[in-house]
Amino acid sequence: MNHDRQDVKHPDHSQPKHPESEHEKKARKAHADENQDHALEETFPASDPVSPFVPAKAPK
């Protein structure tokens, strides 16, 4: 099971077996970005509701 890389207290957390290559780093970051974008799309309406337009009253 995967866990957050910064969760150092997780039971599965250990030092990587080899240094991360540039390609692996880009792939990991792209995957994290895709996950974040997907989560934002699913939560956007609830997290940032759009206020209905209420026109201002005309000045007298």
Q: Residue 46 has what pLDDT?
A: 62
Predicted pLDDT at 9: 81
Alpha-carbon span 29 to 35, nearest angstrom: 10
Query: What pLDDT score does 15 carry?
Result: 75
Give yes or no for a contact between 11 and 3, defined as CB atoms under 8 angstroms apart: no
Tens of pLDDT, residues 25-36:
999 899 989 998
DSSP class per residue in 1-60 = ----TT-TTSTT----SSPPPHHHHHHHHHHHHHHHHHHHHHHHHHHSPPPPP-PPPPP-
Distance separating alpha carbons of residues 11 and 22, to the nearest angstrom? 27
